[in-house]
Structures are given as structure tokens and as C-alpha cells.
Structure 1
Amino acid sequence: MTLVTTGELVSAAAAEGRGVAAFNVITLEHAEAIAAGAEQAAAPAILQVSENAVRFHGGRLGPIAAAAAAVARASSAPLALHLDHVVSPALLHAAHDEGFSSVMFDASKLSYDENVKATAEAVRWGHRQGIWVEAELGEVGGKDGGAPLEAHAPGARTDPAEAAAYVAGTGVDALAVAVGSAHAMTERTAALDHELIGRLRDAVPVPLVLHGSSGVPDGELRAALSAGMVKINVGTALNAAFTGEVRAFLDANPGVVDPRKYLVPAREAMAGTVAEFLGLLG
């Protein structure tokens, strides 16, 4: 199937009152598993490559982007390519040539004024290229090995009035907000602020994005969708499924050296996780 755009998938999900999931791609097996899981669930999905993943691949975006795009084109499911948590202007500017229809530009570590300035510039550039741009306001903790933010720490929640001003000042197409989730959670124990999600939905004219969804229980995710979340980012849950299968296989078969023997069950486990999340999102 021809690659679709992130903007198309998110807009359709918002119009239909459901969510659309974006899954992190680190290896070819991740991309294949996301496509397989989307086919199992008969649902669209977004394949997203983060700046951290690009760094893992020696700073080269091209190979992993080409692999993800090839997998998406060969799939029967509607799939889009998204470049996630981009800090580097050079990586941002490589997005269009590598087939990405969207970028999450991450200036969340900057002061509010500098965040607005940098993000507005990224949006202007992106829109000239036909690229849909997501940004983040408030800090979703746990990125790059950092600890999750304490629930009442400064920046741990996105202020609706500030969010409205931020969207107006930057022109972003979607806004990732801090409402109680955290990156890299391996247990699904996060409790979201659903009242705040509703206030943010009412305050901004663009779709809301939930980062760190791997740590959010099913009921919390359903409630978040009802409150106004649209794009749901999932990464750690795939890695946990992958690593768990590899570890179990090698513990049971310590003499095996052919990686295909353990990558097959690892890929299948990730595909199952993808299908479960997609089923949950409707």
C-alpha cells in the first residue's frame, strides 16, 4: 500500500473520536512487527524513528528510514512515517528527503520563549516542505534515562492557557502534553490527569499527543481517548516484548548462535503487542 501521511491518520482519528498509535522503530524487526500488528488489527499505525534511534544507527537516518518506508509500502495496512523527538536542525531538515511526512520537533528543554521561537521556525520550514509538525509543552519525564517527574514538579503538567498561547505562537499541527505519563516505564502504573486532558482539548485547536503510553494501563488509555487524546506514542512496550522473548529463548537454548532463531519469536511478540494497543484504541 502507498505510504499515507501522519496528518491524514491523525485527522481521521480525531474526526472519528478514536486514537491512532505511533510505535517506535529501532531495528528492521520493529518496523516489520508494527506492520504485522497493524495488519492483524486491521488498523492504521505510525512508524516513528527518534533522534535517539538515529544516533544508535551511527547518526545515519537514511538506512533505517529506507527500511521503514519499504516495510510500510509492502504492508496492506495504512502506515505513515514520523521522525520523533528531533532536537538537531540538521536532522529536522533531512526529514523530507527521507520520506517522512511528519516531525516532532522537541524544544521542550528550552525556556518557554526560546521554545516558541525555535518551534515556530521549525514549523515554518516544515510547512514549506509539506511536513506536519508536532511539538511538546510541559515535560514528559523519563527521556534519555532520566527519572520520571514527580507529579507536582514544575513542568510536570501542561497549563491549558499556556498551551493555547503556544499553539497560536508556533502554528504547530499537534501538541504533546504532560498529563502524568513518562517515557521508558516498564510497568503500566501511570495515572493520568483526565480533567486536565479535557481542559487542554478545549483550549487548543489541534490534536493532543500522549508520550510515554507504554506505562499507561488500558483503562487509563481509554479514559484519555474519551477526554481528548488522539495520537498515542508507544515504544518501551515493544522493547519489553522483544527483549523478553530473546532472553527466554537464549535461556532455554544457550547453544544457539543463529540470531534468526530468537529474532522470529521476538518480532512476533512485538507484533502481538502492537495489535493489542491498536485494538484498545478502536
Structure 2
Amino acid sequence: MSNFMSGSKSINALPHRDLPMRPETSAEPPQRPRHRVRVLAKKPVKPGDSFGVPGQGSSLAASMFTILALFGLWFAVTNLHLIKPLFLPSPQAVYAKFILVATDGFANSTLAQHTGISLLRVFGAFALACLTAIPVGVMMGVSRIARGLFDPPIEFYRPLPPLAYLPLIIIWFGIGEFSKVFLIYLAIFAPLAIAARAGVRSVSIEQIHAAYSMGASRTQVVLYVILKSAMPEIFTGMRIGIGVGWTTLVAAEMVASTSGLGFMVLNAAEFLASDVVIMGIIVIGFFALCFDVLMRYVERVLVPWKGKV
């Protein structure tokens, strides 16, 4: 204790001139700490940015490269005369035929008329399939009786190619416009109904129990819980169904048609007009691609929770 007191006295005994003197007044105002100016604000981290989810990111550059590579290969092969124009016409010949058919027409109809008839058939059948297949698929998912009634016929005819039951449709309904639309409708109905059923069956049971515990009725659970949770699968079925519908278009327009893209392709093939055939294939693929892009956009708007819950 005496040592501590002696130490403290010795410290106090130091002259004041040895201690740093603090100025009483300062001419300059106290400076505030400087903060860095952040040019770019922090963005929320997307799921998978830290660890890298397989397949994440935009594939637009790779898609454009693939399209340009295929087009360049087509241009090089045809202009170097490695393949005869009868089997594969050049892009210039296909474009010239496109302008000719768009202005003068082919088989007594212009390209716009052929396209309009085919779009009316495909999208008319698609609308009818959406109005019937989605409710049937939902009923198959929520009711074992409905599943027992609809599942056997759908699973039976689903793997059959449309050309297999095309003669039967002609015998039953004739060769009018209804038989063409009905054939495309059957091709779209099966994948759309199965997708709706799969979406209903994938709903979490905890969500259903939570809705019932909060006093929801069975109808409210189906409309506001099950149907909303099944929307991603339903949109996938719609995209698959419209692709199958475009595939069936050629088969449907084999039945006593006088217009349509499928009819144009078949009629041109009989006369070995390969430039018209390729042009028709490109037009069909273009509209199918545009509809698929449109469906993806609508899905992002209406089902923003897909892949996040």
C-alpha cells in the first residue's frame, strides 16, 4: 500500500510542463468523420448467388450463338452447293419464296390467310382445352371418384399419335372444320389435365391443414390454396399442350383442307417445293416460339412465387 501511495505521489510530483498541454480554445471547428460516398447501393443477394445454383443465369447469349451458328451453317452448305437445292434450298431462296407467297399467295390463299386459319384452329382448340382440361385435372387431384372416372380414358389415349384416331374422328364427325379442331383439342387435353392433376397433388398438406384450422371451407381451400399452388404446374402443362397442338396441326389439316399452314406444307411437299415447305416450318415454329415466350411472361406475372416457396 505504501509503495502504491509513493508511486502516486511520484506521478503527481511530475512537473506540469512534461505533460501534453491541451489548448483551451481552437480556431478551427471540430471536423466530422468523413464517410465514403457509395456510388452503387447494395442489392439483395439472389438465392444461390453465394453457392451457385446449377443452371442459374441468363442463356440469351448462348441461344443467340446457337441460332447464328445454325443459320451460318445453312448458308454455307447451300451456297457452296454441298446439298442440292431440291433437298435444302438456300436462305435467299426461302426468303424470296416468303415474299412471293405473302404477296401473290400459294394454293389460292396468301400467307396471311393460311396463318390466320391455322391460328384460329390451334388457339380455338387450346381455349376449349383450358376450359375443360384444367377443371378435370383439378377434380382428379382432389377427388378419388373423379380420378377413377377420368384417369383410365386419358391415360389410354394420351400416348396414341393423333393419326391413329384421326380416321375414327372423320367417321364420327365428317371432314368439316369441327373434326380438325376436335383433333387438336384431344391432343392438348391430355397433357394439360395431367399437369393440373400433378399440380394439385404436389400441394403441401401443411398449407391445407392451416387453411382448415383458420375456418376455410372445402371450396375455399380448393380455390385459394390448392388451385393457386398448382398454377406453376398448370402453366407448364399449357406450354406443353400448345406445342403438341402445333404438332397436330399438320395432321388435322390433312382432312380435306384448302387453307392453313399445315395444308400449305403438305401441298408443297407433293410438288417437291422444298422452299415452301421450309418456309411453312419456319412460320409454324415462329408462332409456337412467340406463344411460349408469352406464356413465360404471363407465368412470371401471375405466379411470381414459383421456385421461391
- TM class by smaller structure: under 0.3
Tell me the TM-score normalized by structure 1. Answer: 0.26
Structure with a larger share of its residues in helix:
2
Give 1 or 2 for the bigger CA radius of gyration. Answer: 2
Tell me the TM-score normalized by structure 2. Answer: 0.24
